[in-house]
Structure 1
Amino acid sequence: MEMNKAPMGQEVAPENPMSDQEPEEEMTMEALLAAEGLEMDFPKRGDVRQGEITGITDQAVLVNIGAKSDGQIPLREFDRLSPEEREEVLQIGQRIPVYVLGFDSHGAPRLSYLQALEAEDWERAERMKESSELYEGTIAGYNKGGLVVRLGRLRGFIPLSQISRERRQSLQSDRPDPSWKELIGQPIVARVIEVDRSRQRLILSERAVARQARELLKERVLAQLQVGDVRTGRVTSLTKFGAFVNIDGADGLVHLSEISWEHIDKPEDVLQVGQEVQVKVISIDPERKRIGLSIRQLREDPWKTKAASLRVGQLVRATITRLEKFGAFARLENGLEGLIHISELSEQRIEHPKEVVKEGDEVTLRIIRIDPEARRIGLSLRKVDTLAYADLDLQMALAEAEEELEQLLGLEEAAEEALPNEEESAEARVEAAAEEASPEAKAAGESPEAALEAPEEASETEPKGE
């Protein structure tokens, strides 16, 4: 017992200091850093990280994201990129976003480039929903429920109930059908109204921002349009003063006078909502955000062609088409319409054209004015028999008679050319008769002419019967 006592002032050291303690576990790098009061941001499953491409093999792309070893992305994943994207991304030293799928048995990260892009798009969609930022893109497709758009690599959906009224009115069918194919590629502005990443659900609404969308698209179109441009659009609405046509997402007005060269009472006479038309830009007002369009200016003006055959002083037949307080309109035989001013209806003073003519009357009128620029023809009823045009009437009568005579002579010459020549006709009859000569004459070697003459000679030498 005394041998175990230590001298005064000294402690007894244990014989086996580790005998009563468990060996300490090997500390991880994270634990060591934590013990030192340091932290390291190690990648975790579900993270989106920026990494640097360190190598490219036949099977994988190696990316350094700060883990113990480089992560791998299957090379086949990049087959889904366009050739241009592949060439830009697949370069040693290129930094790219990656999504951490997990880790293999050796602790190397398994990564995805495309899922990282999708994750960024989902974050963008969530930010757009929170901030009410407008989505601007193009229509990528449609299905029985509505329209499909693309937000980055995500597929967004605009239900039928969320499509703007103007767009639905411009379509031939209220429900999706093959005619909706023409929507693909058209610009669209919408607002993100629902984002559910777990269900892969991204919903947008065009109707919620219809007014903002119209203004935004119109500003963009106004900045690009120039007077004289020709565009294809679709009629969105008809009014008493014209038709609104949507071009590239912005509405322009085709005034009633710019729809047709012919007179029409209302746009419905020649147009209908949803109809596709070609229009020419004739005016742009950036301050008032207005676009003036024309349909008729893309078509040949028949007025100039028809008016070329008319001259001042000429007498013409016409039909009264309508009466106004200031005069009567009359349609000429060639289809052009002219005005008989109230002062040109009668030598006497009248209060209204109905005192002299009525709609449907067929009358002889004199052309007193032709204005090609204004496309107007002035007509007169009271000057039909005036002596002021006597010489002109005589000249025109003679010219008409001469023209009729030339036409008559032309018909006689054509008839003479059609008659057969008498000599040629006789020869043709002889040849036809020769073809019908007897087979015996042909067998004897006689010519067709001799065969025809032989019976006559025989009849002259044959003795008469006793």
Structure 2
Amino acid sequence: METAAENEAGTQETMADYSRELEASFRKIGEGEIISGTVISVNEEEVILDLNYFAQGIIKAEDMSNDPKFNILEEVKIGSVIEATVIKTDDGAGNIQLSCKEAKDILSWDILKQYLNDEKEISVKVSEVVNSGVIAYAEGIRGFIPASQLSLSYVEDLEPWMNRQLTVKVITVDEEKKKLVLSAKAVEKQKAETEINHKISMLVPGTVLEGTVESLMPYGAFIALADGLSGLVHISQISSKRIKKPSEVLAVGDKVKVKVLGTNDHKISLSIKAVEEDSRPDEMEEKEAAEYSSNEEIGTSLGDLFKKLKL
């Protein structure tokens, strides 16, 4: 049985709900205003919204999105909250006519600008192939992805990219010119840089590696290493001899052994000179070898062996 306290609480809650509904029913909605509502019905022709108002909101299918691939039944769900612009306060049937497209034209550019500032990655689907690139919609706005921004590798044939889902970054937003440019290449580049930086961080200073001279500069030589890595041997670390330019002792394509000196700022510092110095015997070893060579007589006869035996 319900107690008096529970009954009182229920009555207060009902009164509060009624008060909110009454207040909402008296608020004024004007044309051009952006309002939000909850989807209560959706079919191929329209979406019906509960606006917490005495009238319902109606969005025609053609006013939902600028994207020609937009599917109202797949992308609009009951219970979803939608923002839309008021087109008419009375569509002739007592409903408020709304447009999602107009609201997105106002709100989406601000969202896209924020994506640009945050360098946020977003998912889009290629909907059209055009000259020198493809089209994909982001936040309901038509965006262009140039062929040069589709991948790190060169893209010649655009047709295979049709309907492909891509992760992109916003690289240009110009609301005044209605210009939106997206890039999948920027995402790939960042991913590749992260992988390379991880590999560099795993290198231990002092490790000796093999590499190939890939280019020569006045200040040193760049060495191609395994796993797509590359490091610099400064001119002072190329040879124990003093040289004026790297080409005096190195040529592009030479195979060399290098020692890792450091990996600061994701850059690999290498030394050829250090490997050469490590491979030389030290002064004590050279001295002992010299003494042994000058003082010891090395014989192979049986007599020489018996001379050194103490019986």
TM range (shorter): 0.3 to 0.5
Task: Indicate the structure (1 or 2) with the bigger Cα radius of gyration.
Answer: 1
Normalised by the size of structure 2, how large is the TM-score? Answer: 0.47
